[in-house]
Amino acid sequence: MMSRRKYTKPAEASRRWKRSISNLWSGSGSGSEGGGGVSTALKLYEDPWTIKKTLTESDLGRSSRLLLATDVVKSEILPMLGVDDARAAESEEGAAVRVWDLDSKSMHHLLLKRWSSSKSYVFIGKWNHDFVRRRNLHKGDLIAFHWDPSHSLFNFCGVVYGRREGLIKYSSQHLSLL
């Protein structure tokens, strides 16, 4: 003998269907991951420009070096370099790094090293020639870098040039990324 299914009123069937769909997408009420591993949680845009610096007088001087915050170097730069280059950056010899200037589409070579006297990190080499003078950088200008893992180099962008004669000048191509 066949078992008979209990008759369900249309309104009740509709509520059950909606509840089952809701449970499927909400992970049975648990929150951010629904059925099939589909996340319904919203994620804010992640800024790729992980290394930002407002230039100071010492970054623009004749010593031709860019002082970097130790915590930023340890969290954003050393892990990207690989074991040998990270070790070299901690030594007197330093680690050679390539820097691609996105605005001028030009490649530059700098040395990342830790100063033993102050325990701070610096980019040295032709920093003053290749960036400060060529890009006409001034105190208060905001610059940004990020590591490009596919090319094993840093991308550089002059983001916001500080106030000069009452004007703020933006990097034309890359401001939208910042």
C-alpha span between 66 and 108 (Å, rounded)? 14
Band (39; pLDDT cuts 50, 70, 90): low
**pLDDT on residue 89:** 94
The torsion angles phi and psi of 149, rounded to 5 degrees, stand at -65, -25
Band (11; pLDDT cuts 50, 70, 90): low
**pLDDT on residue 21:** 45
**pLDDT on residue 165:** 44
Residue range 51-177 forms a domain whose CATH class is mainly beta
Whether the pLDDT of residue 174 is over 50: the answer is no
Q: Indicate the domain borders of the chain.
A: 7-41, 51-177
Q: What residue has token string 């680690």? A: 95
What's the mean per-residue pLDDT of the chain?
77
**pLDDT on residue 112:** 95
With helix as H, strand as E and coil as C, how does 3-69 read? Answer: CCCCCCCHHHHHHHHHHHHHHHHHCCCCCCECHHHCECCCCCCCCCCCEEEECCHHHHCCCCEEEEC
**pLDDT on residue 19:** 56
Band (45; pLDDT cuts 50, 70, 90): confident
Task: Pick 101 or 173 by higher pLDDT.
Answer: 101
| Residue-wise burial string across 129-148, b where 16 or more C-beta atoms lie within 10 A, e elsewhere | ebbbeebebeeebbbbbbbe
C-alpha span between 83 and 98 (Å, rounded)? 17
How do strand 153-164 and strand 142-148 relate by DSSP bridges? antiparallel
What's the pLDDT tens digit per position in 12-34? 555 555 554 445 444 444 444 44
Whether the pLDDT of residue 102 is over 60: the answer is yes
Q: Judge contact between 84 and 152, C-beta under 8 A.
A: no
What's the pLDDT tens digit per position in 132-171? 999 889 999 999 999 998 999 999 987 666 655 443 444 4
**pLDDT on residue 157:** 87
